[in-house]
């Protein structure tokens, strides 16, 4: 019984670490969707006078980064004009796996650990302030 337990404990720890990473990433994705939508609604759907799309991207990215300041999360916001006066803002979040909250190396035994990514895209009508399509 002791040998089986000694063999099973490392496997259980690895499974627990994977489960914690998946659940924390899902929590971050839910928060990211809410925060990104609100940031696009505030900064892109009704921009300030003279504010262009690049400035909106910087403001959106700053607001999302401020919300995720404690965690190891990278945020990138890009803008694409989709024609017919519609602008698409694409926010991408990437997160590195952790070991119960402690940062891991980006490479283990020569194998790079992939970053988990989540993306949200919002289309805004530039002539109807406050409208997210």
d(CA 27, CA 109): 29
Please write the tens of the pLDDT for every residue from 7-49. Answer: 888 888 888 888 888 888 899 999 999 999 999 988 888 777 8
Please write the tens of the pLDDT for every residue from 62-99. Answer: 999 999 877 778 899 999 988 777 889 999 999 887 77
Q: Is the pTM of the predicted complex or chain greater than 0.75?
A: yes
Contact at 8 Å (CB) between 63 and 36?
no
Contact at 8 Å (CB) between 89 and 133?
no
d(CA 65, CA 110): 30
pLDDT at position 80, please?
Answer: 92
Whether pLDDT at 101 is above 80? no
Q: How many CB atoms lie within 10 A of CB 73?
A: 21
């Amino acid at each position: 019984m002791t040998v089986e337990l000694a063999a099973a404990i490392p496997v259980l720890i690895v499974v627990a670490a994977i489960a914690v990473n998946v659940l924390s990433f899902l929590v971050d994705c839910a928060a990211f969707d809410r925060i990104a939508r609100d940031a696009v609604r505030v900064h892109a759907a009704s921009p300030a006078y003279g504010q262009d799309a690049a400035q909106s991207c910087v403001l959106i990215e700053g607001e999302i980064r401020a919300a995720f300041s404690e965690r190891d999360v990278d945020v990138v916001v890009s803008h694409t004009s989709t024609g017919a006066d519609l602008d698409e803002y694409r926010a991408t979040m990437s997160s590195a796996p952790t070991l119960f909250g402690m940062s891991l190396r980006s490479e283990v035994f020569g194998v790079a650990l992939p970053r988990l990514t989540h993306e949200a895209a919002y289309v805004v009508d530039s002539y109807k302030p406050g409208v997210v399509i």
